[in-house]
Amino acid sequence: MAKIAIIVFADTITKEALGKVSNAFVLANEALENGDELKFIFEGAGTKWIGEMEKEDHMLHSMYTELKSNITGVCAYCAQAFGVKSEVEKSGLTLLDEYKNHPSLRNLFIEGYHVLTV
């Protein structure tokens, strides 16, 4: 069993970023199907995805809702900095603030996760 952490930093403004998030969801689903341990975190400008994917007409909405219960959380600091904290709170996802109001990415390495950033 693998330990996989996926960190989404990609902004919402390009088709390339859309592809990165879509592929991150595919990897996450593959990991879950194979019984791997998964952590999935939205960080930086990636926090902006939550409000977008909560919209039912967004092309990633169904992938997002399928994975939502397995999303570890969203950076508290960055959600505030990018003006999407209320959208994240409304989504029900956890705001992560373990290290200086950010998720502790260092802990992922200590816990033995293979970390992929997109």
Sequence ranges of the domains in the chain: 3-117
CA distance 87 to 79: 9
pLDDT of residue 46: 98
**Whole-model pTM over 0.85:** yes
Question: For residue 64, how many other CB atoms are within 10 A of its CB?
Answer: 21
pLDDT of residue 112: 98
Kindly state which CATH superfamily the domain 3-117 is placed in: DsrEFH-like (3.40.1260.10)
Token pair recorded at residue 80: 């505030």
- Alpha carbons within 13 angstroms on the beta-carbon side of residue 95 total 17
Segment 35-45, tens digit of pLDDT: 999 999 999 99
Residues 96, 41: contact at Cβ < 8 Å?
Answer: yes
Residues 77, 83: contact at Cβ < 8 Å?
Answer: no
Q: Which amino acid is at 117?
A: T
